[in-house]
Structure 1
Amino acid sequence: MEAKWQSMVNHVQDIHEHGTPAFPCCAHPPLEGEARDKEWLEPGTTAAIKLERVTLRTALVKDVRKLSPQHQTYSLEAFHSLIIHFAPKHTGFSFLGMYSRLLMAALHFNHNSSREVARTSDGEVRYAVRYPRFCKGGWVVRPIKEKPSYAYAAALMESLSEGYSRSPETLRESSAVLSSTAPAPLSTSCQEIAKDEAVGLYLARHSRFNTGN
């Protein structure tokens, strides 16, 4: 990825042999006709030098090394958004409550991640126009997917019912084991302090700002 990115500086100067083992030459076929008749940057000119300084900055090249040629983070971002649906940030949950909601979010996401695009009665793909914030007033067109399915919930309830019918005690034991694995609240790791002492320290810290009293 780094070699390909660096080759771009050569390409815009009509240099297509790069001399690097990872990417020795441009991937395009020999340029002919209109593809060759372009206004290339002249090597050594101010424009070429400035472009090289911008594109080959150390910090930027380090980021390029981390790019994936195949995978994107869209699905991961969609899953994180789904977690907020199952576990809203404005509500506090216990450890087991949050754990359960994360599992439900994963079940829902996996069950619906391969949905087909929605179609009209005539078989045409349905589209929607969106106005995302990053477009700053612009718009994008995206195909509409079929509505999500909740069949996994029915399967989960059926499995739970069957398990309870076979052995209620086994379910109780599993629930007890899960509850015992819950970590202690984060507040227990804090060192407690007497309220009077805390208030005294607070007033001492802020007394220097109350010079008018």
Structure 2
Amino acid sequence: MKARLYIAALHFNKNSYRDQAVNKNGEPIYSISYPKGRKGAGIPKEVKVQQTYILMEEVVKVRLEWGSYRNSRSNREAAMRNYPAPIADSYPHVPKTELVERHICRFNIKCRLSIN
């Protein structure tokens, strides 16, 4: 279920900013909609280009190659172990309490005066 949810979200994001379709002459294509709220007045709506199903094609390829979600996930996790550590890990980490104290002190005049 989690994998299906992820694929649905990625598919929506991939296809949410599609371009407007054009005809053979290069003119944009519109369709007419008649919503009840306009009491019969027509509204032109842009016709978008066809959706892409690249993600579904990739899912089918992975399914055929690895057989199951569990196998493909364990393979991905094994491959992830070969990547270098994130850049953020190379910097010293300041404790959360100190960061909060600095933030509060930054906006508090009394706190700034006591530090100087």
Instruction: Give the structure-2-normalised TM-score.
Output: 0.50
Work out which of the two has the higher radius of gyration on C-alpha atoms and give 1 or 2: 1
Q: Which has the higher contact order (CA 8 A, sep 6+)?
A: 2
